Amino acid sequence: MSVTPSLVADLVGVAVFAASGASAGVVKRLDLFGVVFVGAVAALGGGIIRDLLIGAVPPYAFTHWEYLVVAVLAALLLFWLHPQFNRLRRTVLVLDAAGLGLFTVTGTLKALDAHVPAVGACVIGMISGIGGGLGRDLLTGEIPVVLRREIYAVASLLGAGVVTALARVHLNRPLLITGTALLIFVVRLLALRRN
Amino acid sequence: MSVTPSLVADLVGVAVFAASGASAGVVKRLDLFGVVFVGAVAALGGGIIRDLLIGAVPPYAFTHWEYLVVAVLAALLLFWLHPQFNRLRRTVLVLDAAGLGLFTVTGTLKALDAHVPAVGACVIGMISGIGGGLGRDLLTGEIPVVLRREIYAVASLLGAGVVTALARVHLNRPLLITGTALLIFVVRLLALRRN
Amino acid sequence: MSVTPSLVADLVGVAVFAASGASAGVVKRLDLFGVVFVGAVAALGGGIIRDLLIGAVPPYAFTHWEYLVVAVLAALLLFWLHPQFNRLRRTVLVLDAAGLGLFTVTGTLKALDAHVPAVGACVIGMISGIGGGLGRDLLTGEIPVVLRREIYAVASLLGAGVVTALARVHLNRPLLITGTALLIFVVRLLALRRN
Whole-angstrom Cα distance, residue A111 to residue A109? 5
**Res C83: pLDDT:** 63
**Res A87: pLDDT:** 66
- The residue type of A40 is A
Please provide the distance, in angstroms rounded to a whole number, between the alpha carbons at the two ends of chain B: 43
- The residue type of C142 is E
Domain limits of chain A? 5-194
Whole-angstrom Cα distance, residue B183 to residue C50? 35
Q: Taking a contact as any Cβ pair under 8 Å apart, which residues of chain A between 126 and 165 contact chain C?
A: 138-141
ipTM of the assembly?
0.90
- The residue type of A83 is P
> What DSSP string runs through A12-29?
HHHHHHHHHHHHHHHHTT
Residues of chain A whose pLDDT is less than 70? 1-2, 83-89, 149-150
Average pLDDT over chain B, rounded to whole?
89
To test the contact with chain C by mutation, choose from A26, A27, A49, A62 the residue with the greatest count of C C-beta atoms within 10 A, namely A62
Q: Quick check: B116 and C48 CB within 8 A?
A: no
Q: Answer for the pair C46, C21: CB distance below 8 angstroms, yes or no.
A: no
Q: Answer with the residue of higher pLDDT: C40 or B93.
A: C40
Range C37-52 average pLDDT: 95
Whole-angstrom Cα distance, residue A168 to residue A66? 30
Whole-angstrom Cα distance, residue C54 to residue A57? 6
Q: Answer for the pair C50, C132: CB distance below 8 angstroms, yes or no.
A: no
Q: What percent of chain B has pLDDT over 90?
A: 57
Lowest mean pLDDT among A112-116, A155-159, B26-30, C110-114: B26-30
Q: Answer for the pair C107, C128: CB distance below 8 angstroms, yes or no.
A: yes
Nearest to B62 among A123, A138, A144 (CB): A123
In angstroms, the Cα distances linking A58 to A50, C52, C103, C121 are 11, 8, 19, 10
* pLDDT at B104 > cutoff 70: yes
Range C10-34 average pLDDT: 88
Task: Give A35-51 pLDDT, tens digit per residue.
Answer: 999 999 999 999 999 99
CB atoms inside a 10 Å sphere around CB A40: 26
Contacts 24+ apart (CB under 8 A), B7-13: B9/B102, B9/B105, B9/B106, B9/B177, B9/B178, B9/B181, B10/B47, B10/B67, B10/B102, B10/B103, B10/B106, B11/B66, B11/B67, B11/B70, B12/B98, B12/B102, B13/B43, B13/B98, B13/B99, B13/B102, B13/B103, B13/B106
Average pLDDT over chain C, rounded to whole?
89
Q: Give the model's confidence band at B140: pLDDT under 50 very low, under 70 low, under 90 confident, else very high.
A: confident
Q: Give the model's confidence band at C165: pLDDT under 50 very low, under 70 low, under 90 confident, else very high.
A: very high
Residue of A nearest to C154 (CA): A33
Q: Quick check: C150 and A33 CB within 8 A?
A: yes
Residue of A nearest to C135 (CA): A139
Q: Answer with the residue of higher pLDDT: C103 or C87.
A: C103
Whole-angstrom Cα distance, residue A46 to residue A68? 13
Nearest to A37 among C52, C116, C153 (CB): C153
Nearby residues of C107 by Cβ (< 8 Å), 6 or more positions away: C46, C47, C50, C124, C125, C126, C127, C128, C129, C160
